[in-house]
Amino acid sequence: MSAPRKPLRSRSRALAAVVAASALALSACGGGDDAGGSGDDGGSSVEPVSQEEIDEAMSTPTTLTFWTWLPDAQKEVDLFEAAYPDIDVELVNAGQGLDQYTKLRTAIRAGEGAPDVVQIEYQYLPSFTLGGDLLDLGPYGAAELEDTYPEWVWEQITQGEGVYGIPQDIGPMGSLYRQDILDEVGITAPTTWDEFAEAARTMRQAKPDTYLTNMPGNDPGQFVGLLWQNGAKPFGFDGDQTVTIDLDTPEVTEVVDYWQGLIQEDAVSTDADFNDQWYQGLSNGKYASWQTAAWGPVFLQGTAANTSGLWRAAPLPAWEEGDTATGNWGGSTDAVLSSTENPIAAAQLAKFINTDPESALTMATEQFLFVPSDVVLEDPTFLEAAPEFFGGQQVNQLYTDLSEEVDTDFGWLPFMDYVYNSFNDTLGTAIDEGGDMEAGLQAWEEDITSYAEQQGFTVQ
Amino acid sequence: MSAPTTARPAGGASAPGRAGPRRGPSPSVRRQRRAAYLLVAPFMLVFAAMLVVPLVYAAYLSLFREQLVGGNSFVGLENYARALGDAAFGSGVVRVTLFLVIQVPIMLGLALLFALALDSGRLYAQRFVRLSIFLPYAVPSVVATLMWGYLYGPDFGPFTQVAEMVGLPAPPFLSSGWMLGSLMNILTWEFIGYNMIIMYAALRAVPADLYEAARMDGAGEFRIAWSIKIPAIRSAILLTVIFSVIGSYQLFNEPNLLQTVAPNVIDSAYTPNLYAYNLAFTSQDLNYSAAVAFLLAAGIAVVSYVVQLTSQRRARS
């Protein structure tokens, strides 16, 4: 439930389940026709795979299975298949976020039916590297990509020397505002959180049906993004047995207290997000702003189409005047499972669709993902796009600038699904009920700490 | 082994027309038996593959503990002990018990009332009424819950709209105080028709001459319903009670779906079934989840048995 969401949220779960079920059957049958797979043992050595090995693998007839919830991923796959006619890619939508991870874990446990390449969000990578389920893509040419990504993105996919996914999209956070409502009330887009709080109060007095923003109690992704902006480093994992859980820090408390104050004054609403109720609130002006990620603008265009032209984008309010830091919310990678029989071809697929200029740009312009690769972030057609929905503002340029401002060093726990679920039951409930968020925060920390200990981790 | 055959009541209802010396089954009987086994075989196969095997496997799993770090180890009944002391599990059980105690009598009472009304034959458009009451059951619970989720909506739901039109505060259907009641409402609508049909079918099987005799003695419709009809369909009512007990403890779909509109009200352990699911799929604690599921099943078995026993006693007394 708590996976960072993207525009395709409305996709029917039932359908996804059916697709996944048949996909499992399909991939189980498809496993047989591997073609001797030269260089199969490339994964065990740290030596880079040589160009001859790659050429040979890419000209050997091979079938790869690729699980992704990216809509129209076939477009990128078609480009890949055109470049490598001998490789056949079977595309499977096994559900989004948690739904997919559940199936993936089941397939890994069962020892069959797992895909070769799979879409995984950044915060879930450690939960799969923990079991050694992901292939280190470094030797397969991924190590050379380091300079083409923002530093913090690269940090997200590496662990020690290993590279465990190719970044597909990211979600540096900014703020989207309803310019018309702000004008009506006579406020300008706040640049600091202090101004934001003042504006929220003004908004409530001037327009009782509208809130400056909504703070959902069910969206740990957004909340963690806001912690990230304030320099908090609540989670960490050494890749082995030691985890860091550090929610009792000034950086975290400052954010929690700030929202606690606004919620208790009823200066912001606390509706659950990504449901019909909230979609309506976005389109009928109940919320005058949304602190969201780089995928937010396009999501909004689909969700609140009737408000076209009324929105503007801005950086997140800063904690200190002039500060430019921001956090990240969501985004995903394409990873290769270590169980694949065709590691070279699988690694090439993951690499190709995210770094081939045509493929990456298709993702950015047609699927509207915020692709962090330089091939997109430096492309003028992407940067200079000026959507009508945002009154001709160059939103991509803004978010591209923001993507450079994300704190580079932010880690995750190897069981983020538990952590996010627990957020909903503790801190999230406190938000929802306007209760004691400090106590909620403490309950959250205690709960995930006891879970970590129960699972055999050493907690720092 | 011969005792049972000789002890059989001669000419009893259990062996009509086949009394006589027993010399093992004749070839035709044997053929019939084979056919009978052949006919139930598909069921037994699916039953074994889809229920027995997973159950045994789950029981096996529940005796282990697999950690993300440290691997798998045999822990005996430790998971069960943990579940018995688990406040989250306990509060879920209390919650569904409360649900059971309040919702089931209301639902079954109404179902009985409707069944009696239909059976009395005094309704116009009887078929239409019967179908209308049954219809909500035909709507898949997933669809029904989504629909109710919309109806309950705190800002734009129809109930809120109506309340606001009349100048009343919006009813907080999805708040933590109301949620259980809102769920009861959904489930009552969903299953009232189903239970009514079972009771109605049983009522149709009661011989009509009993009613005539009662009428001759001067009994009115209510008296007939109370003293003849309801006792006559006692076993059908008991069946619906048992189904409802099991259904209440297994509550899953409705709270799971309403979680999208009220994610912080319905927590991950709102009902025991939801808890077991979340343990398995978000906490990756399959072993503990299996233990919780087993305890739940055991609890259901006990409660169903007690219900059956007490009602049988009452019937005898």
CATH for the B87-138+192-315 domain, from 3.40.50.11540, 1.10.10.10, 1.10.3720.10, 3.30.870.10: 1.10.3720.10
Contact B261 A414 (CB under 8 A): no
Residues of A in contact with B265 (CB under 8 A): 432
Among B264, B266, B285, B286, the strongest candidate for a mutation testing the A interface, having the largest count of A CBs within 10 A, is B264
Taking CA atoms, B228 is separated from B196, B219, B311, in Å, by: 18, 10, 17
Q: Which has the closest alpha carbon to A249: A238, A233, A260?
A: A233
Residues of A in contact with B176 (CB under 8 A): 433
pLDDT per residue over B34-50, tens digit each? 999 999 999 999 999 99
* Single-letter amino acid, residue B138: A
Residues of A in contact with B278 (CB under 8 A): 421
CA B83 remoteness from chain centre: 24
Mean pLDDT of chain A, nearest integer: 88
The whole-number pLDDT of residue B22 equals 60
CB contact set of A400 (below 8 Å; sequence gap of 6+): A377, A383
- Contact by Cβ (8 Å): A284, A393: no
- Contact by Cβ (8 Å): A149, A372: yes
The answer to which of A5-19, B56-70, B216-230, B296-310 has the lowest mean pLDDT is A5-19
Q: Which residue of A has its CA nearest to B67?
A: A455
Contact A457 B261 (CB under 8 A): no
pLDDT per residue over A181-192, tens digit each? 999 999 999 999
Whether A11 shows a pLDDT value over 80: the answer reads no
The whole-number pLDDT of residue B156 equals 79
The answer to which of A227-241, B79-93, B118-132 has the lowest mean pLDDT is B118-132
**Average pLDDT rounded to a whole number, residues A131-152:** 93
Q: Would you call A120 helix, strand, or coil by DSSP?
A: strand
DSSP letter, residue A68: -
Angle at Cα A244 formed by Cα A241 and Cα A250, nearest 5°?
Answer: 175
The whole-number pLDDT of residue B77 equals 94
Give the one of A277, A429, A455 whose C-beta lies nearest to B68's C-beta: A455
pLDDT tier at B71 (50, 70, 90 boundaries)?
Answer: confident
Query: How many other C-beta atoms can be found within 10 angstroms of the C-beta atom of residue A207?
Result: 15
**Average pLDDT rounded to a whole number, residues B126-155:** 90
Contact A424 B267 (CB under 8 A): yes
pLDDT per residue over A162-217, tens digit each? 999 999 999 999 999 999 999 999 999 999 999 999 999 999 999 999 999 999 99
Taking CA atoms, A194 is separated from A255, B123, B196, B220, in Å, by: 12, 68, 61, 77
**Average pLDDT rounded to a whole number, residues B272-295:** 93
Q: Which is more confident, B82 or B71? A: B82
Contact A14 B142 (CB under 8 A): yes
pLDDT per residue over A315-341, tens digit each? 999 999 999 999 999 999 999 999 999
- Contact by Cβ (8 Å): A281, A287: yes
- Contact by Cβ (8 Å): B288, B82: yes
| CA–CA separation, B173 and B171 (whole Å) | 6
* Single-letter amino acid, residue A343: P
Provide the token pair at A302: 């689909």
Contact A277 B284 (CB under 8 A): no
Domain positions in chain B are: 87-138+192-315
pLDDT tier at B10 (50, 70, 90 boundaries)?
Answer: very low
The whole-number pLDDT of residue B315 equals 65
Q: Which residues pair with A178 in a beta bridge?
A: A311
**Which residues of chain A from 164 to 223 reach within 8 Å of chain B, CB to CB?**
217-218
The whole-number pLDDT of residue A35 equals 35
The whole-number pLDDT of residue B21 equals 56
List the alpha helices (DSSP H) in chain B.
3-7, 27-47, 53-61, 78-84, 87-119, 126-138, 141-152, 158-166, 179-204, 209-216, 221-224, 230-232, 234-249, 253-258, 272-281, 286-316
Q: For chain A, which domains are there? A: 51-170+330-378 (3.40.190.10), 173-328+398-459 (3.40.190.10)
Greatest Cα pair distance in chain A: 71
Q: Which has the closest alpha carbon to A253: A419, A441, A443, A446?
A: A441
Residues of B in contact with A428 (CB under 8 A): 263-264
Give the one of A272, A281, A418 whose C-beta lies nearest to B282's C-beta: A418
Count of pairs with CB atoms under 8 A, one residue in A, one in B: 79
**Average pLDDT rounded to a whole number, residues A380-405:** 93
Q: Which is more confident, B122 or A33? A: B122
| CA–CA separation, B223 and B147 (whole Å) | 40
- Contact by Cβ (8 Å): A93, A16: yes
Say what the ipTM of the complex is. Answer: 0.81
- Contact by Cβ (8 Å): A428, A217: yes
Residues of A in contact with B262 (CB under 8 A): 272
Of all residues in chain B, the percent with pLDDT exceeding 90 is 62
Provide the token pair at A216: 């959902």
Residue B67, exposed/middle/buried by CB under 10 A (0-12, 13-18, 19+)?
middle
Whether A7 shows a pLDDT value over 70: the answer reads no
Q: Which has the closest alpha carbon to A397: A426, A375, A376?
A: A376
Contact B261 A276 (CB under 8 A): yes
Query: How many other C-beta atoms can be found within 10 angstroms of the C-beta atom of residue A434?
Result: 14
Give the one of B70, B264, B281 whose C-beta lies nearest to A424's C-beta: B264
Of all residues in chain A, the percent with pLDDT exceeding 90 is 80
pLDDT per residue over B175-192, tens digit each? 999 999 999 999 999 999
pLDDT per residue over A266-304, tens digit each? 999 999 999 888 999 999 999 999 999 999 998 999 899
